[in-house]
Amino acid sequence: MNREYKRIVEQQKAPEELIEKTRKKMKQLQRKKKMKRYTVVLASAACLGIVCIAGIQMANRSSAGIYEKLEAEEIKEEEFETGLLLGKGFLKEEKNYESAFHVMKYKNIEEVPEKVWRLKEQEIRGKQIRFGYYEKEGTYCALCKTDNVYVYITGENVTEKEMKKFLEKNL
């Protein structure tokens, strides 16, 4: 039965026009499949690229967040800002600082320098702040905790009064 069917099918001839139409449709279907494949590959590559870029950005942020150092710019006579991200600036008559304040932020208590824990605790504007003077470095230092971040501030060539004013204005 199988042989007989094959023999009958082989004897049948389709018109040349029908064969050409079929070939054209087959080519069109193959092109559509290729285009679909390319589209899927390109979309997958784009998604992978976006995921990689996002991953790199998150890794950079988390590694940079371990230790951040912000430096204040020197205060100029015409400006009212210190360059810090802590908030308020100084009035004109308070702008006689010759040195910059340095602010460091730490996320974990283990990252804070050990020598800071020897400083005495004081209350400034209702916050408990470790405050003191390092004679070797000639700097005033302060440490406080705000928003689950330890903020370590140093001021070189400033007086105790100026340092406390700076803390009161910015914390």
26 is written with which tokens?
Answer: 């087959």
pLDDT for residue 95 is more than 50: no
**Cβ contacts of 158 within 8 Å, gap of 6 or more:** 97, 99, 101, 140, 166
- The pLDDT of residue 66 is 47
Question: What does the alpha-carbon distance between residue 146 and residue 38 come to, in Å, rounded to a whole number?
Answer: 52
Select the more confidently predicted residue: 41 or 71: 41
Give the 3-state secondary structure percentages of the chain, helix then strand then coil, rounded to 5: 45, 25, 30
- The pLDDT of residue 59 is 77
- Lowest mean pLDDT across 25-34, 90-99, 109-118, 131-140: 90-99
- The pLDDT of residue 149 is 86
DSSP category for residue 74: P
pLDDT for residue 81 is more than 60: no
Edge-to-edge order in the sheet of strand 149-156? 67-71, 101-106, 149-156, 139-146, 127-134, 120-124
Select the more confidently predicted residue: 166 or 45: 45
pLDDT tens per residue across span 11-60: 888 888 888 999 999 999 999 999 999 999 999 999 999 999 998 888 77
| Average pLDDT estimate for 104-116 | 82
- The pLDDT of residue 169 is 80
Query: How many C-beta neighbours within 10 Å does residue 74 have?
Result: 13
Select the more confidently predicted residue: 106 or 89: 106
| Average pLDDT estimate for 131-160 | 84
Instruction: Place 74 in a pLDDT band, splitting at 50, 70 and 90.
Output: very low
Dihedral sign computed on CA atoms, order 106, 140, 100, 171: positive
pLDDT for residue 137 is more than 50: yes
Query: How many C-beta neighbours within 10 Å does residue 89 have?
Result: 15
Measured CA to CA in angstroms, residue 60 lies from 40, 103, 148 at distances of 30, 21, 20
- Residue 112 · residue 150 · CB < 8 Å: yes
- The pLDDT of residue 114 is 80
Select the more confidently predicted residue: 151 or 87: 151
Report helix, strand or coil for 69.
strand
| Average pLDDT estimate for 69-73 | 43
